[in-house]
């Protein structure tokens, strides 16, 4: 007879997740408990253990890599969670601490990594990845391009699974069209290519809003361009999307899954998009169907694509409707959870079978 008890999974995020869960109110933010509920329905119980705060975690408040290392949390898991079926480290910090402790404390539960920073010039992060990639029992990545980078850089193919990306498609949902709204771009990571976008929109007959801190305050801007540098809560961000006519996701061609969040949010909102097609975005778009795709650094191509959506409302509406359907099918909770749960079961500690 097979062991029918629920799978026990410990989740180790790189920053504190519990405060956002405690503050969650339906309708005011994406559902932070949705994945846990759906996994519970599939017989997977998730225990969240956040990194500690100072002084218990001397690395708290520094980079997410360092905060996630939290040595006391790693000891707590290695000594007190020895019977769990799987440990999931969100990004690299917790994985480093646990993989170093594992041989010393004979910790036998499998350890997998959920997402990683591949495009980083920080020597410490590269050192951490060199140490953990060969030692992990599995790696969950967002895109096929990340899987391919891991194969090229570290020669690792076994146990690397593409699980995709999840978004709350009930919170991010279509709003009434905003035909007079601005062209919008959102993003804070180093993979964003706002210089190409600023050159592309210069002279176009449209307002433009850029939600980012990555543009220097003294940078000369084309007319009708507004930059939002303030932090926005989830409702404010959704309102920014809802007011937009078009969303642009301008990117450098980098190894990280840059732009994925903005693509998923805009698609779920049912907005027409212009997206830089890179190795990391190809899993999340269908050029000509869910967006207009342009090449990295192509000012003329981006300008033409934005101009086309401004001039062709029927094309914009078709792309927007397709994007929403794609988001529900690929980023929605049910689809993501099915794949995530299957990956968890493949990597969990083998169950005993008796009888």
Indicate whether 267 pLDDT > 60: yes
Percent over 70 (pLDDT), the chain:
97
- What is residue 2's predicted lDDT score, i.e. its pLDDT? 54
Indicate whether 351 pLDDT > 80: no
Q: What is the mean pLDDT of residues 256-284?
A: 95
- What is residue 352's predicted lDDT score, i.e. its pLDDT? 58
pLDDT band, residue 319 (cuts 50/70/90): very high
Indicate whether 102 pLDDT > 60: yes
Indicate whether 165 pLDDT > 90: yes
The answer to whether the 7-166+333-347 and 183-330 domains have the same CATH topology is yes
- What is residue 3's predicted lDDT score, i.e. its pLDDT? 65
SS3 of the chain: CECCCCEEEEEECCCCCHHHHHHCCECCECCCCHHHHHHHHCCEEEEECCCCCCCCCCCCCCCHHHHHHCHHHHHHHHHHCCCCCEEEEECHHHHHHHHHHHHHHCCCCCEEEECCCCCCCCHHHHHHHHHHCCCCCEEEECCHHHHHHHHHHHCCCCCEEECCCCCCCCCCCCCCCCCCCCEEEECCCCCECHHHHHHHHCCCCCCEEEECCCCCCCCCCCCCEEEECCCCCHHHHHHHHHCCCEEEECECCCCCCCCHHHHHHHHHCCCCEEEECCCCCCCCCCECCCEEEECCCCHHHHHHHHHHHHHCHHHHHHHHHHHHHHHHHHCCHHHHHHHHHHHHHHHCCCCCECC
pLDDT tens digits for 212-262? 999 988 899 999 999 999 999 999 999 999 999 999 999 999 888 899 999
Specify the fold of 183-330.
Answer: Rossmann fold (3.40.50)
pLDDT band, residue 54 (cuts 50/70/90): very high
**pTM of the entire predicted model:** 0.93
Q: Which CATH class is domain 7-166+333-347?
A: alpha beta
pLDDT band, residue 354 (cuts 50/70/90): very low
pLDDT tens digits for 187-212? 998 899 999 999 999 999 999 999 99
Domain boundaries, the chain: 7-166+333-347, 183-330
């Amino acid at each position: 007879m097979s062991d029918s008890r629920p799978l026990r999974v410990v989740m180790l995020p790189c920053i504190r997740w519990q405060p956002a869960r405690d503050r969650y109110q339906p309708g005011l933010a994406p559902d932070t408990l949705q994945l846990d509920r759906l996994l519970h329905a599939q017989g997977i119980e998730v225990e969240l253990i956040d990194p500690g705060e100072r002084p218990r975690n001397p690395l708290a408040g520094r980079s997410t890599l360092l905060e996630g290392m939290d040595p006391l949390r790693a000891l707590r898991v290695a000594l007190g969670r020895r019977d769990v079926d799987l440990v999931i480290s969100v990004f690299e910090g917790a994985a480093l601490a646990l993989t170093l402790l594992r041989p010393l404390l004979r910790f036998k539960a499998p350890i997998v990594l959920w997402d990683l920073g591949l495009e980083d010039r920080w020597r410490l992060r590269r050192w951490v990845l060199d140490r953990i990639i060969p030692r992990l029992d599995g790696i969950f990545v967002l895109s096929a391009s990340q899987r391919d980078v891991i194969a090229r850089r570290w020669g690792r193919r076994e146990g690397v699974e593409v699980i995709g990306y999840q978004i709350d498609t009930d919170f991010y949902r279509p709003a009434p069209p905003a035909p007079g709204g601005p062209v919008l771009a959102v993003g804070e990571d180093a993979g964003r290519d706002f210089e190409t976008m600023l050159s592309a929109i210069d002279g176009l007959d449209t307002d433009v809003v850029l939600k980012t801190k990555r543009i220097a305050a003294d940078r000369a801007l084309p007319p009708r361009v507004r930059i939002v540098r303030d932090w926005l809560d989830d409702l404010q961000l959704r309102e920014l999307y809802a007011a937009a006519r078009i969303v642009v996701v301008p990117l450098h061609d980098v190894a990280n899954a840059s732009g994925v969040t903005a693509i998923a949010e805009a698609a779920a909102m049912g907005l027409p998009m212009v997206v830089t097609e890179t190795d990391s975005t190809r899993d999340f778009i269908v050029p000509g169907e869910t967006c207009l795709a342009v090449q990295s650094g192509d000012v003329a191509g981006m300008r033409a694509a934005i101009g086309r959506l401004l001039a062709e409302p029927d094309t914009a509406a078709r792309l927007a409707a397709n994007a929403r359907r794609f988001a529900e099918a690929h980023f929605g909770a049910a689809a993501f959870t099915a794949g995530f749960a299957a990956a968890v079961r493949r990597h969990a500690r083998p169950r005993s079978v008796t009888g």
